Structure 1
Amino acid sequence: MEKCIMLGKKVYLDDLINVARYDYKVDFSKEYCNRVNESRNLVEKWVDENEVIYGVTTGFGALCNKIISKEDTQKLQENIILSHSTSVGEPFTRQEARATIFMILQNIGQGYSGVRLAVLEILKDMLNYDIVPYIPREGSVGYLCPEAHLALVLIGKGKAYFKGELMSSKDALKKAGFTPIKLASKEGLALVSGTTSVTALGALALYDMIKSAKCADIIAACSLEVSRGIITAFDERVMKVRPHIHQDSTAFNIRKILADSEVIENCKNERLQDALSFRCVPQLHGAAKKTLTDAKEVIETEMNSCCDNPIIYNDGENSRAISACNADSSYVGLEMDSASIAATMIAKMSERRNNRLIDSNLSSNPAFLIKNVGLNSGLMIPQYTQAGLLGDMRILSTPSVIDNTPTCMNQEDYVAMGYNASKKAISVSEKLEYILAIELLSAFQSSAFLDKKYKLSTPTNYIYEKLKEHIPVMEEDFYLYPHIQYLKNLIHSGDLIAWVEEKIGKLK
């Protein structure tokens, strides 16, 4: 039986991921259809009555004072799609495009946009029949351009992938058994307005960052154990006197992962404390998780909002079109800038822990975790990769939303720039996975140098046994890239979390 998300009630981050990444189908509830139809009826009524409505009977942006005749309203909607399809560069990935379609269905489907149900049915069919719009990703200030390229498909213009093959949108629709549609009043504007691409990209990045944060707890526990670290810093009494929830849950995760480690038990009295990259794991990971949790709350609120302009407010005799700016991307932009900073903080600590594992001056391990060093470089250079990735992450952590370049003859004199915040968060989330993967590689190699008379914890031992099925213990230099990629995919897929939770139950 095919898995399906029924739109009409509140949706969550996991729902977007399931549609975008795992190809869940989408359908509309009766409630969804009713509110869309009621909103459309109002628009048609007002057009017949020659009401002045922004973007419906007027031009757009600085042209909002230009009145458009009833006869030209259809042409106006097509023109906005054509004229706004100006983003450039590499296209959205399949999952990014699908996430944006999902968000347009959610945004317009709140019933405040006045779009015909028939338009949304085609968008739904694009998801269900694997029609993926070609959307250049560069050149948006928060909305409009990527959405316009997506909307081109509906009118049979632009390009789209069908079953993975790029072709004209008209051909893609035809192969799937559909025909282009003529847009009616309000519809072109509604399709390009809103924080749909901003929220879609932000949601994808955030989902992976949240997963990586939990993986970071696991990998930090691995590094602590192979470094014969001191568990005292994770004592629940320490957490009680500074009662941040995510700090406490991080310490709980580390204690749970290492609960039966003979290595940790044997070295608990060796020294008073470890370096900050070990000792501060609850504090830094906790602070980062708090930021990611806050971002998730905002993303899910945005997913269940109408971010159109104008909105069609149905209030009986007092119903009206209200021109405002719910299309502003500040909420998502601020959170995704913050999420990128949080991810970079997790990454910078991971790199420092990795550095301690490979530095013979800071550990009891051979230099670069290889016995015959000199002839072999061992794990010297993956730390260089971490340094390069971390440099990029620091650049990408410069906030986007503090930027401002006025547009539209200064009608849009303030611009939130949330799109750039979400777009760069995608890159930040991927780089974090690679940095964590390299630390895990070093922890795995370090485990070979531990005294075998002391047992590793059940979950860490299980991780290493599973890794040995794919990665050899390094005796001499070998091609490292495939193993780093494998470990990165292990983090991205969530399999690393699944391995640990299989042994000790759910982590916090």
Structure 2
Amino acid sequence: MIAQTYARNIKTVILGDKIHIEEFAAVTRYGANVEFSDAYIQRVKASRQLVDQWIEEGRVMYGINTGFGALYTHVISTEETAQLQKNIILSHSTSVGTPLSIEEARAVILMILQHAGQGYSGIRIETLEMYRQFLNLGLTPFAPKEGSVGYLSPEAHMALVLIGEGTAYLNGELMSAKDALDRMGLKPIILGAKEGLVLTNGTTSATALGVLALYDMLKASKAADVIGSMTLEVLKGTTRAFDDRLMGVRPHEDQRHTAYNVRRILKDSEIAKHHENYRLQDALSIRCIPQLHGAAKKTLKDALKTMEIEMNSCCDNPIIWWDGIDGEAISGGNPDSSYVGIEMDSACIAATMIGKMSERRNNRLVDGNLSAYPWFLVKKPGLNSGLMIPQYTQAGLLNDMKILSHPATVDSIPTCGNQEDYVAMGYNASKKARQVVEKLEYILAIELLSVFQAHQFMDNTLQPGAPSKAVLDEIALTVSIMEEDLYLYPHINTLRDLIHSGRIIELVEEKIGKLE
């Protein structure tokens, strides 16, 4: 096994400094424990002390002792502060429909902890500790996902559980928040000044869903290099189109790296070597793998840079600023989700581009006129449909992806009595990115299924490359060679899991080292 850290191998994540996408996935998907560093705890406490001090001094501060949004001119008395914070949670719990998945809800909690832990929010450490316990104990708030323009509503549903309201999952069972807290030995808390605002404000849910989607998109883009290389191999394509000299005269880094990946994957392939001059030139879906995959990966890497900045930011309003002598609560627009939204809209387009090329490669595999194999990769076409209909599935999925690639962020519907007269819609961009990448994984899985089935028709005196063989051997453990029609749905899911889990990348990297 190569020396590389995968998210599933990280057992503990300590908040207090920057976190990266692998640590994020370790907590949200693989259940790594979360701890707070001493620096984290100290800066949260220092920020809270300022809030308490300013309340005692009678300062008027947005969201701390005023109403929210368009109601910012309404000053709230000290005696009503706790009720104000509870009211924001109750009144903002209005998202509807299908709930966030367990990993999505965990991701939002992690982002709340990371954003508030920067020390500019004024929340109590006790409140953040409660959410930390939720992550570590497997207690997950129920939160409907539909009906957010950037933040507020899903986060409010989740915060209900802190105060003993709403519902939560415990070991997969949905129950009242009170019962879930009781089973874990936890008590509901009373929110202090500003805490209701901190828990619902910012880009936490948009960032959380976006990073989850991006994590899977980045894996899928590497898997696409592997699957595309295997398709080239089985279709007797030429590796000449991946020559580094060709890449050097159009020096896009990710194009060059993609071509390098393909060359390494096929380096010891007897099939690829034998057919190097079989055709002068392949179809675009084969020879343009570096160009399209490279462009998509650049977009995804640009998104990663932006999303990791967002993960490690304070996106609250107001922020609590301390200058060493005094300080102030500074109101502004950091909860705006434009950075997240634009990047995730772009990421959806990039993923759809990978998907559309995969579908075209798969079409070449199943079309007997193009592949020179039996139609639909089955020995007796006509009596058997073979792999005819999975390409239909690809077509339906790809149509969905194209619809979802329309940008969310170009829209704006004013809210809050026109106090929020422009709305970024970053949440919807991230939400649809989750749908896009799931469909991409299925499209790639179907191409991989066709590659696997095509090998039964190849000259068995020529061996595939070691990376291809490792993947084919893994597939053969659970997927049978199709000599006549069989139930394909389980096999498609198995191959999608191979992609989603990153296992296909691990198999290849065990043979040739880290993919670019």
Q: TM-score surpassing 0.5?
A: yes
Pick one of 300, 303, 314 that aligns with 1:306: 314
CA distance in 2, matches of 1:303, 1:371: 52
Shift of 1:2: 9.2
> Structure 2 matches for 1:30-109, cutoff 5 A?
30-109=38-117
Determine if the alignment matches structure 1 residue 139 to structure 2 residue 143: no
Q: Which secondary structure does the structure 2 equivalent of 1:273 belong to?
A: coil
Which residue is equivalent to 1:395? Answer: 403
Using the TM superposition, give the Cα deviation of residue 465 of structure 1 relative to its aligned residue in structure 2, in angstroms: 2.2
Matching residue's letter, 1:359: D
Equivalent residue, structure 2, for 1:490? 498
Letter in 1 for 2:418: N
Q: Which residue of 2 aligns with 1:127?
A: 135
**Would you say 1:196 and 2:204 are equivalent positions?**
yes
Q: Match for residue 12 of structure 2?
A: 4
Q: How does 1:129-208 map to 2 (within 5 A)?
A: 129-208=137-216
2:281 aligned residue: 273
CA distance in 2, matches of 1:62, 1:69: 18
Using the TM superposition, give the Cα deviation of residue 455 of structure 1 relative to its aligned residue in structure 2, in angstroms: 1.8
Deviation at 1:503? 1.8
Structure 2 portions without partners, runs of 5+: 1-8
The residue that corresponds to 1:329 in the other structure is 337
CA offsets, 1:355-404, max 9 Å, x none? Answer: 00110111111111112111100000000000000000000000000011
Amino acid at match of 2:137: Y
Work out which of the residue numbers 477, 480, 494 in structure 1 matches 2:485.
Answer: 477
Maintained 8 Å contact 1:2/1:25: no
CA distance in 2, matches of 1:268, 1:115: 63
Q: Distance in 2 between matches of 1:77 and 1:130?
A: 26
Secondary structure (helix, strand or coil) at the match of 1:456 reads coil
1:173-196 C-alpha deviation (Å, 9 max, x unpaired): 111001000001111001100100
Aligned residue in 2 for 1:21: 29
Confirm or deny that 1:363 pairs with 2:368: no
- Tell me the amino acid that sits aligned with residue 332 of structure 1: V
**What is the aligned counterpart of 2:256 among 245, 248, 258?**
248
How many Å separate the matches in 1 of 2:245 and 2:288? 15
Please state how far the C-alpha of 1:316 moved relative to its aligned partner.
2.4
Contact 2:11-2:26 at 8 Å conserved across structures: no
Secondary structure of 2:381 counterpart: coil
Deviation of 1:458 (Å): 1.5
Q: Percent identity?
A: 61
The alignment of Structure 1 onto Structure 2 pairs a total of residues equal to 508
The aligned counterpart of 1:412 is: 420
TM-score for both structures, normalised by structure 2? 0.97
Q: Which amino acid aligns with 1:145?
A: S
Partner of 1:466: 474
CA displacement 1:48-80 (0-9 Å, x = unmatched): 111110011110001001111111111100000
Q: Residues of 2 paired with 1:434 and 1:287: CA distance?
A: 21
For 2:305, the aligned partner's letter is: E
CA RMSD of aligned residues (A): 1.0
Q: Which amino acid aligns with 2:58?
A: N
TM-score (norm 1): 0.99
Alpha-carbon displacement from aligned partner over 1:403-439 (angstroms, at most 9, x marks no partner): 1100011000000000000000001010000000000
Corresponding letter in the other structure for 1:44: D
Instruction: Give the whole-Å Cα distance in 2 for the aligned partners of 1:291 and 1:2.
Output: 27
Whether the 8 Å contact between 1:434 and 1:488 is mirrored in structure 2 is yes
CA contact (8 A) 2:401 2:439 kept: yes
**Paired residue for 2:393?**
385
Question: Does 1:442 pair with 2:447?
Answer: no
State the AA in 1 paired with 2:224. A
What are structure 1's unaligned runs of at least 5 residues? none
Q: For 1:402, what is the secondary structure of its paired residue?
A: coil
Name the SS of the counterpart of 1:177 in structure 2: coil
Secondary structure of the residue aligned to 2:325 is helix
| Structure 1 segments (4+ residues) deviating >6 Å | none
Q: Deviations over 1:253-307 (max 9, x none)?
A: 1000101112111122222110000010000000000000011111110111000
* 1:16-36 deviations in Å (ceiling 9; x for gaps): 100001111111111001100
In structure 1, which of residues 220, 223, 230 is the aligned counterpart of residue 238 of structure 2? 230
CA distance, structure 2, for counterparts of residue 353 and residue 302 of structure 1: 36
Equivalents in 1 of 2:84, 2:471: separation in Å? 59
- Greater mean alpha carbon deviation, residues 177-186 or residues 453-462: 453-462
